[in-house]
Amino acid sequence: MRLGFVLVATVLTLTACSPSGGQPPTSDGSATTAPDDTAAVESEVISADDAGTSATASNVARFADLGHGVKTKSSKLKVRKRPTRSSKSHMLRMTNPIDQRLVLLILNVRSTARGDWFEVFLPERPNRSTAWVKRDHVRVVKLRHRIEVDLSRYRLKLFRNDELVRRFKVGVGQDQYPTPKGVYYIWARVPQPSPTGPYGNYALGLSGFSPVLSDWPGGGRAAIHGTAVPSDRGQKVSHGCVRVFNDDMRKLRGLPMGTPVVIRR
């Protein structure tokens, strides 16, 4: 299933369908203990003293760890093909279609005589597209969580501060509709009107797209979403999304925008 349907169907019902609190999730065989409801989790904005424009090149380099992102107060951000002001540029919308502010994952950094630059992953086709942004145009955020999906083992792992805190069996894309491999991040957080619907109780839209589908609403954007069908776990059942049983999805629903998602075979 593709997230395009979700965005259209839920744009008017997000308030009414916000995640419920206080319902204890069922046991899932997690590796270690962790809060059952991550709804309150937010990205940590790094202070000006910690991430200001006066930092040295060695300090800048620490942001290229797939654990930091950038966001803006403005609705658009100028992104460039190369880390120079004369490079070709375009304006990137910094909100998704339901007005959630994007956090772009940092891939690389570069210091020049005219300032520091971040190379960020774009939520655009083709997958793993990148562009450069001027450091003084963005705010750096620390991303403490990470999702890793092992397609061959049908396994999703959730890490916090590099420690494994959750582990789930999941459904993945069928052979003809493979789940995209690579590094992505959470691009949308969408509660669902019915846990028995096609996207279960919640959907996390990703920055990446199906490698074979482009004519779906949303352009074939991939997602991690719930399912009410427990037999989906450990199966190739989707059109490229990762299906997580609803009881397990409750533990992922509060992950912040920009959270890295690494999908490998």
Return the pLDDT at 138: 97
Same domain? 135 vs 72: yes
Among 5-14, 40-49, 93-102, which range has the highest average pLDDT?
93-102
pLDDT per position as a tens digit, 46-66? 633 344 434 445 578 899 999
Residues contacting residue 234 through CB under 8 Å, at least 6 positions apart: 154, 169, 170, 171
Residues contacting residue 214 through CB under 8 Å, at least 6 positions apart: 125, 220
Q: How many domains does the chain have?
A: 2
pLDDT at 36 over 80: no
Same domain? 155 vs 256: yes
∠ Cα 46 51 54 (to 5°) = 160
Retrieve residue 184's tokens.
Answer: 């992505």
Mean pLDDT (whole number) for 126-145: 97
Mean pLDDT (whole number) for 223-241: 97
Same domain? 34 vs 52: no
Same domain? 153 vs 138: no
pLDDT per position as a tens digit, 153-173? 999 999 999 999 999 999 999
Same domain? 35 vs 89: no
End of a domain among 111, 142, 173?
142
Return the pLDDT at 216: 73
For the beta carbon of residue 179, count every other beta carbon within 10 angstroms.
26
Whole-model pTM?
A: 0.83
- Give the pLDDT band (50/70/90) at residue 246: very high
* Domain with 173 in it: 3-40+144-264
pLDDT per position as a tens digit, 70-99? 999 999 999 999 999 999 999 999 999 999
Mean pLDDT (whole number) for 19-45: 41
More confident residue, 49 or 2: 2
Same domain? 34 vs 150: yes
Retrieve residue 170's tokens.
Answer: 């999941």
